[in-house]
Chain A
């Protein structure tokens, strides 16, 4: 069976005046039907650009320079704009980070929902509106009929994000890519939305890419996890295994920096240093300057992704293999 989405060795670079910024530089993953993939990494590691690349929404000076993106086996890279447009919002939908910014402030909610339906289906305004109302109901917005004629500023942040999710659900997409959709919300609402999205995806068989810098979110939600560092995938595998037994020192550092109950009282581990500049990355492992296991050979060439355990890949030449617990 072909995967819903397969990304192979994606490279998206920005050609700026200061040089080439390799924002995404070698990312591969696969999502099956109804699966949830967590894409994790620090700020600036290229998560959002990966998400935008899938929909062909990278703005100049950025462009996909290499790689394959296959939706049910069909290649999306290099597709003409109008073909891509029929995929966007229809077969693949997106939810953005900040619900305050994603809805157009001067258009009513119904306008913004109806246009999303009519962009892909030849239906009447009334039918589109009815569909919009149902979608609002599904994401738990009370009295959807009235709320349809409201403006975004009349909603709270959590409600706006529900509207954005409803818009994503409108055309029953095969895949939703959610770019940190809960970071701008407070914790209780975060939990509710997480739960609902998970439920909706399970019900409809929609696959989901959940982009976040918060490993604890991924732990409760995803099936698979991909860890990004400086534009590169550094580790991937099933959530349980990666969290139980991280192979890459960076992943281990990330897990160590998540506060949890059983570590209370002990100082939180931190990953020392800063993310390197994506301009002129040095040869070798990009994590070398911050890595506690670094050795001379790490700086020679970029380590390849290696399948150290079945289904478990890591981009490290000295992975945590000994720590089998």
Chain B
């Protein structure tokens, strides 16, 4: 286990370094770093001072190390637009995004697993065929258009739910979240559902495939031959086996949800990181872009790590072979 963890941590550091090189080259080297890092309003004197201060007169690899050293200290530059440290901006927005993505994950599981189980257990039923057709539409629906339609139906036509912004925030057990107020909950439903739908479609298909696959396995037949009830066969023997692919995909999808939150946040004016990055792209606020990128990479690495640990907790076969690649 420890060997496994150390290995994984080392891999993560490598990925982080590789990404930092890519980001560095992408944002610092391709564009003119002076334009990128120094406010366009600065005059000649300021520019030269800034060039010195930023070390832009140094050779490129030295610049990279300066960038790296700054990044390690948590300094990824200041936003031109907000005139605040970029990283702080990101951290301010992150909880809203995580809240949205987390709600969406839960929603997609609650929708996806029961429907997938049903479709897998009764593949011939008309309902199951309906579920499967629905899931194709579900992941074909472009998120942004689906969001607009949700707003149109539930906010404009029916007037049931608010369509923009995040609701009131309350603190509970030291966590600040809008999920603890009814206003907050009302606000999160539409955007979270929008984010969850595509994922739910994926989980339906995955669950169904897993159920169908494991129903054919001898161990399921053997479990039935032991006289177990159907609930136990499906709920324990089948379910525990489909949990393995599910955890993997959900892990990957959390990353995807955080990324796709960009779209949902823009439509529902949700004040998270995603909206921030779109605004920064439109306003060429590059330090914020860099900070967002590095944070996302970090987040992804963390998620992958958690998934791997969960994975070995569920699948006993993984535990013995600490090193798997």
Contact = CB atoms under 8 A, between A and B. Distances in A.
- Please tell me whether chains A and B touch each other in their complex, using a CB distance cut-off of 8 A: yes
Interface of A: 52, 55, 57, 85-90, 93-94, 96-98, 101-108, 111-112, 115-116, 119-120, 151, 153-154, 164, 167
Contacts of B226: 88-89, 93, 115-116, 119, 167
Interface in B243-278: 243-244
B142 interface: no
Interface in B278-325: 314-317, 320
Given A105-B219, A107-B236, 18 more contacts: A57-B225, A85-B228, A88-B224, A89-B226, A89-B228, A93-B226, A96-B218, A96-B222, A104-B223, A105-B241, A105-B316, A106-B240, A106-B243, A106-B315, A115-B226, A115-B228, A119-B226, A164-B222
Contacts of A112: 223
B225 A55 contact: yes
A205 B275 CA distance: 74
B237 interface: yes
A94 B227 contact: no
Nearest to B230: A81
Nearest to B240: A106
B244 A106 contact: yes
Contacts of B244: 106
B176 interface: no
B232 interface: yes
B221 interface: yes
A164 B241 CA distance: 19
B228 A104 contact: no
Nearest to A103: B219
Q: Which 6 A-B pairs have the closest CB atoms?
A: A89-B227, A89-B226, A88-B227, A101-B218, A151-B316, A94-B225
A126 B303 CA distance: 39
18 contacts: A55-B225, A57-B225, A89-B227, A93-B225, A93-B226, A96-B218, A101-B219, A103-B219, A104-B223, A105-B316, A106-B243, A106-B314, A106-B317, A112-B223, A116-B227, A119-B228, A153-B317, A153-B320
Contacts of B228: 85, 89, 115-116, 119
Contacts of A86: 227
Interface of B: 217-219, 221-229, 232, 236-237, 240-241, 243-244, 314-317, 320
A101 B217 contact: yes
B317 A105 contact: yes
A111 B320 CA distance: 20
B227 A120 contact: yes
B230 to A, nearest CB: 8
B241 A106 contact: yes
B168 to A, nearest CB: 43
A50 to B, nearest CB: 14
A108 B219 CA distance: 13
B241 A85 contact: no
A112 to B, nearest CB: 8
B14 to A, nearest CB: 31
A115 B221 CA distance: 15
B222 A102 contact: yes
Nearest to B241: A106
Most buried by A among B227, B228, B236, B315: B227
Contacts of A108: 316
B255 to A, nearest CB: 25
Given A105-B317, A106-B244, A116-B228, A57 B236 contact: no
A108 B243 CA distance: 16
Contacts of B221: 52, 57, 96
Contact of A153 (B232, B236, B314, B316): B316
Contacts of A90: 227
Given A55-B225, A90-B227, A104 B219 contact: yes
Contacts of A52: 221
Nearest to B124: A60
Nearest to A82: B229
A88 B232 CA distance: 14
Contacts of A151: 316-317
